[in-house]
Structure 1
Amino acid sequence: MKKHYKGSQGYQCCYRFVSRSTIAGREDTHVTYSQCTNFDTGTTVKLKEEVIVVSCASIPYKKIKSRNILYEDAYIILKKIKMGTSSGAAGPKNWNVLILGMDTMSRARFLSSMPKTASYFNQNGWLDYRGYQKVGYNTFPNLMAFLTGKNMTTVYRKCSKTMDNCNDEIIWSKFQNSGYVTAYGEDFLRLPDTFYRYNGFKIPPTNHYMRPLFLTGETRKGNLVCTKQVPSAIHSLHYALDFVESYKNDKFFGMFWVNSYSHNLDNLPTLLDNDLTDFWNKLNSTGALSNTFVFFLSDHGIRYGKMRTSVESYYEERLPMFFMWVPLDFQTAHTHYNYNLELNQRRLTTPYDLHVTLRNILQLSSGSLMEGECEACPQCTGLFYETMGHRTCARAGVHEKWCSCHNLVSVSQQEYGAAYSIELAVSFIQNITKAVNTTKCMKCSMLQLKTVLRTHKHVDYLNNETSYVIAFGMSPGNVAYEASVKEDENGFHIIQPTQTISEYNTRGSCVVLSNDREYCVCEKERKCT
Structure 2
Amino acid sequence: MVKPLNNITYNWIHIKAIQEKHSQPYLVNTSRCQIARWPTFDEQVWPLYQNYTGFSLNCRHDIQQWLSIQRFNYTGVYVRFIPSAVAATVKCWANSFKRRTYDDMTVDYILPDIAVEVNQITYFNDTSDVRITCNVFTRTTHLKSFFDQLIRKPPTLLKQFKARQSRPVVSYASDGQPDIDSLPNILFVGIDSISRINFDRHFPSTTKLLDKYNFHTLYGYNKVGDNTFPNLVALLTGYYLDELWDESFVNWVYLNYFPFIWKDFKSKGFRTMLMEDAPDMATFNRFKLGFAEQPTDYYLRPFSSQIEEDIKYYCYLDKPETEVYFDYVYDFVSAMTDRKQKYFAFTFMARLTHDEVNNAGLVDPLTTHLFSKLFADNRRLLNDTVVIFFSDHGIRFGPIRTTLSGKYEERLPFMHLYLPDRYRINNINVSINQNRLTTPFDIHATLRHIVLGRPDTELRYGRSLFEEIPEQRSCQSIPIDDHWCSCQTTSQTITGNLSLVRPMAQFIVNSINKLLVDENYSHKCAELWLNTTVSAYEQRFDGKDNGVVVVVDNVTETLAIRQFSLTIVVNPSQALLEATISLNQISKQMTLNGEVSRINKYGDQSDCIDSHRLQKYCFCRNLLKK
**TM category, shorter:** 0.7 to 0.9
Contact 1:31 1:216 in 2 (8 A): no
CA distance in 1, matches of 2:420, 2:124: 36
Q: Cα distance 1:233–1:436, how it changes in 2: closer, same or farther (>3 A)? A: same
2: CA distance, partners of 1:317 / 1:64: 55
Q: Which residue of 2 aligns with 1:76?
A: 152
Residue pair 1:87, 1:179 contacting (<8 A) in 2 also: no
* Residue 520 (str. 1) matches residue 618 (str. 2): yes
Q: Distance in 1 between matches of 2:357 and 2:305?
A: 22
Q: Is residue 51 of structure 1 aligned with residue 136 of structure 2?
A: no
Counterpart of 1:77, as a letter, is K
Q: Which runs of 5+ in 2 are unaligned?
A: 1-62, 68-82, 167-178, 541-546, 550-557
Separation in structure 2 between the aligned mates of residue 221 and residue 461 of structure 1, nearest angstrom: 50
Equivalent position of 1:498 in the other structure:
596
Which of 509, 514, 534 is matched with 1:431 structurally? 514
Q: Is the 8 A contact 1:15 1:39 kept in 2?
A: no
1:17 equivalenced with 2:99 (yes/no): no
The question of whether the paired residues in 1 share the 8 Å contact of 2:193 and 2:353 is answered with: yes
Q: Distance in 2 between matches of 1:149 and 1:105?
A: 22
Shift of 1:347: 0.3
- The alignment status of 1:205 with 2:295, answered yes or no, reads yes
How far the C-alpha of 1:497 sits from its partner, in A, is: 1.5
Shift of 1:507: 2.4
Superposition deviation, residue 91 in structure 1 = 5.9
User: For the structure 1 residues 93 and 316, does the alpha-carbon distance in structure 2 shift closer, same or farther, using more than 3 Å as the test?
Assistant: same
Q: How does 1:151-230 map to 2 (within 5 A)?
A: 151-156=240-245, 161-167=252-258, 169-220=259-310, 228-230=317-319
CA distance in 1, matches of 2:610, 2:285: 21
Q: Structure 1 residues 477, 84: CA separation in 2 closer, same or farther (over 3 Å shift)? A: closer
Match of 1:29 among 106, 109, 118: 106
Contact 1:87–1:250 (Cα < 8 Å) also in 2: yes
> Which residue of the other structure, out of 275, 283, 289, is the alignment partner of 2:382?
289
Summarize deviations over 1:133-161 as a string: whole Å, max 9, x none.
11111111110111111233332179764
1:370 alignment counterpart = 455
Partner of 1:122: 211
Q: Which residue of 2 aligns with 1:455?
A: 536
Aligned-residue offset at 1:505? 3.5
Query: Cα gap change, 1:55/1:478 in structure 2, threshold over 3 Å: closer, same or farther?
Result: same
1:353-373 deviations in whole A, cap 9, x for unaligned? Answer: 110100111123xxxx13433
Shift of 1:449: 2.1
1:331 aligns with 2:420: no
Question: Quick one: distance in 1 between partners of 2:506 and 2:577?
Answer: 13
Write the distance in 1 (CA, Å) between the matches of 2:483 and 2:124. Answer: 54
Cα distance in 2 between the residues matched to 1:436 and 1:153: 16
- 8 Å contact kept, 1:309–1:454: no
Residues 494, 538 of structure 2: 8 Å contact kept: no
RMSD: 3.1
Q: Give the one of 344, 347, 366 matched to 1:275.
A: 366
Count of residues paired in the alignment: 509
Contact 1:214–1:232 (CA under 8 A) maintained in structure 2: no
Q: TM-score, length-normalised on structure 2?
A: 0.74
Q: Which of 386, 391, 401 in structure 1 is aligned with 2:483?
A: 401
Tell me the alpha carbon deviations over residues 459-490 of structure 1, each in whole angstroms, 9 at most, x when there is no partner. Answer: 33533321110001122232110011101254
Among 340, 352, 370, the alignment partner of 1:261 is 352
Q: C-alpha separation between the residues in 1 aligned to 2:95 and 2:276?
A: 22
Which residue identity is paired with 1:120? L
Is 1:38 matched with 2:113? no
Measured in 2, the distance between the counterparts of 1:339 and 1:526 equals 60
Q: Deviations over 1:87-127 (max 9, x none)?
A: 66826722111111111111111111222112221233110
Output the amino acid matched with 2:291: F
Shift of 1:430: 3.6
Q: Could you list the per-position Cα deviations for residues 483-524 of structure 1 after superposition, in whole angstroms to 9, with x for gaps in the alignment?
A: 111012542112232132111242232335454332233344
How many Å apart are 1:348 and its aligned residue? Answer: 0.3
Q: Are the equivalent residues in 2 in contact too, given 1:28–1:201 (CA < 8 A)?
A: no
Question: Shift of residue 38 of structure 1?
Answer: 3.2
The equivalent residue for 1:383 is 465
Does the Cα contact within 8 Å between 2:192 and 2:354 map onto a contact in 1? yes
Residues 1:310 and 2:400 are matched in the alignment: no
Structure 1 stretches of 5 or more lacking a match?
A: none
Provide the rounded CA distance (Å) in 2 between the counterparts of 1:466 and 1:444. 32
Alpha-carbon distance between aligned partners in 1 of 2:489 and 2:409, rounded to the nearest angstrom: 13
CA 1:178/1:196 → structure 2, altered by over 3 Å: closer, same or farther? Answer: farther
Following TM superposition, by how much is the alpha carbon of 1:436 offset from its aligned partner in structure 2, in angstroms?
A: 7.1
1:89-168 paired onto structure 2 within 5 Å: 90=179, 93-156=182-245, 161-167=252-258
Could you tell me which residue of structure 2 aligns to residue 246 of structure 1?
A: 335
Residue identity (%): 24
Q: In structure 1, which of residues 328, 331, 342 is the aligned counterpart of residue 431 of structure 2?
A: 342
Go from structure 1 to structure 2 and tell me whether the alpha carbon gap of 1:38 and 1:384 turns closer, same or farther (over 3 Å shift): same
Q: Secondary structure at the match of 1:508?
A: coil
Q: Contact 1:135/1:141 (CA < 8 Å) preserved in 2?
A: yes
Query: Structure 1 residues 446 and 506, CA, compared in 2 at 3 Å: closer, same or farther?
Result: same
How far apart in 1 are the matches of 2:445 and 2:296?
A: 20
Q: 1:477 to 1:374 in 2, by over 3 A?
A: same
1:359-407: CA deviations, max 9, x gaps?
111123xxxx1343323x1xx3210000122310122232222111111
TM-score normalised by L of structure 1: 0.87
CA contact (8 A) 1:218 1:232 kept: no
How far apart, CA to CA, are the structure 1 residues paired with 2:311 and 2:467?
A: 50
- Does the C-alpha gap of structure 1 residues 424 and 58 become closer, same or farther in structure 2, counting only changes over 3 Å? same
Q: Tell me the distance in 2 between the aligned counterparts of 1:86 and 1:124.
A: 28
Equivalent residue in structure 2 for 1:471, among 553, 563, 567: 567
Q: Provide, for residues 330-355 of structure 1, a one-character-per-residue CA deviation record: whole Å limited to 9, x for no partner.
A: 334xx1xx310111000000111110
1:357 and 1:526 map into 2 onto residues whose CA distance is: 51
Q: Secondary structure at the match of 2:134?
A: strand
Whole-angstrom CA distance in 2 between matches of 1:374 and 1:384: 15
Aligned twin of 2:15: none
Question: In structure 1, the residue corresponding to 2:596 is in which secondary structure?
Answer: strand
Aligned to 1:294, the other structure's residue is in SS state: strand
Residue 487 of structure 1 pairs with residue 577 of structure 2: no
Give, as a single letter, the amino acid of the residue that structure 1 aligns with 2:414.
Answer: M
Report the CA distance shift for 1:81/1:197 in structure 2 as closer, same or farther (over 3 A). Answer: farther
2:103 is aligned with what amino acid? R
Report the Cα distance in structure 2 between the residues aligned to 1:287 and 1:126, rounded to whole angstroms. 17
Whether the 8 Å CA contact 1:131–1:348 is kept in 2: the answer is: yes
Where 1:16 maps in the other structure, the secondary structure is: strand
Aligned-residue offset at 1:525: 9.2
Q: Return closer, same or farther for 1:457/1:221 CA change in 2, 3 Å cut-off.
A: closer
After superposition, the C-alpha distances for 1:241-296 in whole angstroms (9 at most, x for unaligned) are: 12222222232111111112211117712112112111111111251322111000
Counterpart secondary structure, 1:497: coil
Taking a change above 3 Å as real, the CA distance of residues 184 and 406 of structure 1, as seen in their structure-2 partners, is same
Paired residue secondary structure (1:290): coil
